[in-house]
Amino acid sequence: MFLKGIKDKFKQKSGRKFIKQTLENGASETTRSKGITKLGCIVDLDKFQNADLFYQFLEDFKLKPNAVKIIGYKSYYDKNSPYATPVFSDKDLGWKGAIENSYALEFLSREYDLLVNYYNEDNLLLNLMSVKTKARLKVGFKEVDPSFNDLILDTPMSDFNMFKAELKKYLGVFKEI
């Protein structure tokens, strides 16, 4: 038990080091052009349970049915319990910032035009997912370190409709939609 705690501390330290190095080296380049055709959402399911609301972006941005991919984070989850949204947790942290979860790896293997970071606390696993995701534009909340997002919205996390309206407004200003 004691050794597991030390091992977890070193994993977290190596994860933070990976994030720092990645942010210093700059974001990964994407080949996607202007406009929103693929959208990824990283959602903190501990704070916002209704991840299905993100499928409203299909209608709002006039996207194809499979254009929205959602992955949720729970600090703890039971692998035997069914979840409507693919989930990853703290126990999926590996060495050197690796995420050892098949749902997360499948999410990270895609390239997105827009990544919605729907969480409002600095969390190692959520920040790792955000840094590792290949996206042209990243959107999140003001409570999170601004280096993780290109567009920062000052809306309450509990009011999804306000977040969606603000996002749509700014994407219109940027001529993305």
CATH number at residue 146: 3.40.50
Distance CA 56, CA 150 (A): 22
pLDDT tens by residue, 61-114: 999 989 999 999 998 877 767 778 899 998 999 998 899 999 999 999 999 999
Tell me how many domains the chain contains. 1
SS3 content of the chain, % helix, strand, coil (to 5): 40, 20, 40
Segments forming the whole domain that contains residue 120: 2-173
What pLDDT score was predicted for residue 175? 86
End-to-end CA separation in angstroms for the chain: 52
Distance CA 10, CA 167 (A): 37
DSSP character for 26? -
Nearest alpha carbon to residue 143 among 134, 131, 155: 155
| Residue percentage of the chain with pLDDT more than 90 | 65
Confidence band, pLDDT 50/70/90 cuts, at residue 35: confident
Confidence band, pLDDT 50/70/90 cuts, at residue 27: low
pLDDT tens by residue, 107-145: 999 999 999 999 999 999 999 999 999 999 999 999 998
What pLDDT score was predicted for residue 56? 93
